[in-house]
Amino acid sequence: FSWSEECNTNFVKLKECIINPPVLSMPDFQKPFYLMTDASANACGSVLLQQNEQGDKLPIAYYSKKFNESERNLSVYEKEALSVALSIKRFYTYLELQPFNLITDNHALSWVLGHFRKLGKLGRWVEYILSLPFNVYHVKGTDNPVADCLSRMFSEEECPINIIDVNHEELNVCE
């Protein structure tokens, strides 16, 4: 084994992460919330964020859920809608007071939100989602790293990012 410069850099990063663990921010109910969601084959994940005075989006809370057998059989856009519905349910007390910003990497979700009356079970989820006021923003999958990684926690799929490398710039996708 050879101790390279890359090993040393990663070791220093690891020490910094241990010394300065990520801290959740206190919510400010006077500011808008950002809800970033994602779904994978086996699970869903989301992060609730708020922007501080410096323009950085800071985490308020995280959520991740492993899908049961029937949920794993859903189509991609059904999993994405379920991810949003479950995330809203989890963070309802934060989101109910004012419009929030929903950030997703799935275009089909926009169509689903407009045609929910024809969609049975999916329609019921979307009806629940639409019970709160929000704006929808689409981002590329690569711009949704935290929710994407949380949605892959329960699978053999490799997480596309290293949690240690998540920084505030990666979270500022709505500007």
User: What pLDDT digit, counting tens, does each position of 14-69 carry?
Assistant: 777 667 756 789 999 999 999 999 999 999 999 999 999 999 899 999 999 999 99
Note the pLDDT tens digit of each residue in 106-162.
877 766 666 666 667 777 887 888 888 888 877 887 777 777 877 877 765 554 544
Containing H/E element for 10? helix 5-19
The whole-model pTM stands at 0.71
Please give the Cα distance from 83 to 99 (Å, whole number): 19
25-171: what CATH class?
Answer: alpha beta
Question: CA-CA distance, 175 to 158, in Å (whole number)?
Answer: 28
**In the chain, beta strands by DSSP E:** 33-39, 43-51, 57-66, 100-104, 134-138
Rounded CA separation 94/82 (Å): 19
